[in-house]
Structure 1
Amino acid sequence: MAIHLRAAFLALLMCLTAGAVAAQGTEVAFGGFQHDSSLPVEITADQLEVNQADGSARFTGNVLIGQGDMRLSANEVRVEYASGDDAAGRIERLLATGSVVLVSGSEAAEAQEAVYTIDSGNVVLSGDVLLTQGQNALSANRMVLDLNTGTARMDGRVRTVLQSGDN
């Protein structure tokens, strides 16, 4: 009986906490999403268009991007290169759209769009964001992931589903 009361209390506490999170946004730890942004970026896709005028490239169809242990897939990715004499082909930002999935270890995030700014190590995912960490899931309208610290902030009607140790 005491075990069931404790489980019921824990479930109520989670519901109350999820309600508070939904109203305010939340910070989330991402141990698996930390990585070295100085590693090379490898991109594969069905098609590539390069625009010399604005210094960009557009990858379409089954786009898969890898950097270290991190993988990003999407329907389309626009690569923007840094400008200036010292840039020498350095990627500045990746803009992914359509069925975006970001995976690192046992953590995965899905969204409609993602913008990865290489130098800052920030990834902004937006549009029906769903984060899974093992069996736990969080959803929101927007998530800002800091790859340098391994933390993120989720905003816009955050919902959390946490699995207890009994499942």
Structure 2
Amino acid sequence: MTIRLQPYALLALALMAAPAFAQQESASPFGGLGNSKDPIKIDADRLEIFDKEQRAVFSGNVVAVQGDTTMRCSQLVVHYDQSATQGGGQTGGNQAAAGQPADAQAGGTPAENNIKKLECAGPVTVVSKDQTATGDNATFDRQANRVFLTGKVALSQGQNVQQCDHIVYDLNTSIARCESKPGGRVQGVFVPGGNEPQKPARPR
């Protein structure tokens, strides 16, 4: 079966699944990833398409940019459902099954695929203007309509910093929940006016 996976459009479909992204740009660094007015550009050292397993893997210095938002990770795995895809051919499937790099332009159209989940292997960094989120791993689950950031999570805006073990961001409610392991604590440092950009020191 032939599949056409355009990497830019592929990630865009998954990240733009919920309008709540765009509504909360000022409240979450994930917000910029849902701005449908801007194109998404993905750079990576390697792209492999595993047709039978229905996943595409971007690896090596992965950088996804949309508008003012930039996401960096070591590996990005896109899980999709190709049950609605029609067509023949073996180009993409053969390369994927053999574990060989697949051409990003090979085979079907992204619109025909149902993107189910994105998994980002870290370290993961999401930067949007003055907001930054970091963690060991991140998952964008379209079916649950949630974003999960796990492992030494830190959220910062200016001088304000929150730290926890994992964070769950609900795209339906635009609510972020920070939690830590049993016995652990969620830590936060909030500086009055700390969300304002620091002014350069005056020369003496």
Match of 2:187 in 1: 159
Question: After superposition, what is the alpha-carbon deviation per residue over 1:92-129, rounded to whole angstroms, capped at 9, x for unaligned?
Answer: 21101121011223211000000012465421000000
* Change beyond 3 A, Cα 1:53–1:41: farther
Measure the CA separation in 1 of the matches of 2:48 and 2:81. 17
Residue 34 of structure 2 is aligned to residue 57 of structure 1: no
Q: Structure 1 unaligned runs (5+)?
A: 1-28
Letter in 2 for 1:53: K
* Change beyond 3 A, Cα 1:79–1:119: same
The answer as to whether partners of 1:34 and 1:148 remain within 8 angstroms in 2 is: no
Query: 1:54: Cα distance to partner?
Result: 1.0
Q: RMSD of the TM alignment (CA)?
A: 2.8
Match of 2:147 among 98, 102, 123: 123
Count of residues paired in the alignment = 139
Identical-pair percentage: 33
The answer as to whether partners of 1:125 and 1:142 remain within 8 angstroms in 2 is: yes
Q: How does 1:93-104 map to 2 (within 5 A)?
A: 93-104=117-128
TM-score by structure 1 length? 0.70
TM-score by structure 2 length? 0.58
What is the DSSP-based 3-state SS (H/G/I as helix, E as strand, rest coil) of the residue aligned with 1:103?
strand
Match of 1:77 in 2: 76
Residue 169 of structure 2 is aligned to residue 145 of structure 1: yes
* Change beyond 3 A, Cα 1:67–1:116: farther
Question: After superposition, what is the alpha-carbon deviation per residue over 1:60-91, rounded to whole angstroms, capped at 9, x for unaligned?
Answer: 11101234543321011111113431761343
Tell me which of the two structures has the higher relative contact order, counting C-alpha pairs closer than 8 angstroms and 6 or more residues apart: 1
* Change beyond 3 A, Cα 1:94–1:42: farther
Q: Structure 2 unaligned runs (5+)?
A: 1-25, 86-110, 199-204
Match of 1:34 among 31, 34, 46: 31
> Greater strand share, 1 or 2?
1
After the TM superposition, list the runs of 4 or more consecutive aligned residues in structure 1 that deviate by more than 6 angstroms.
none
Letter in 2 for 1:161: V
Match of 1:43 in 2: 42
Match of 1:15 in 2: none
Measure the CA separation in 2 of the matches of 1:76 and 1:67. 18
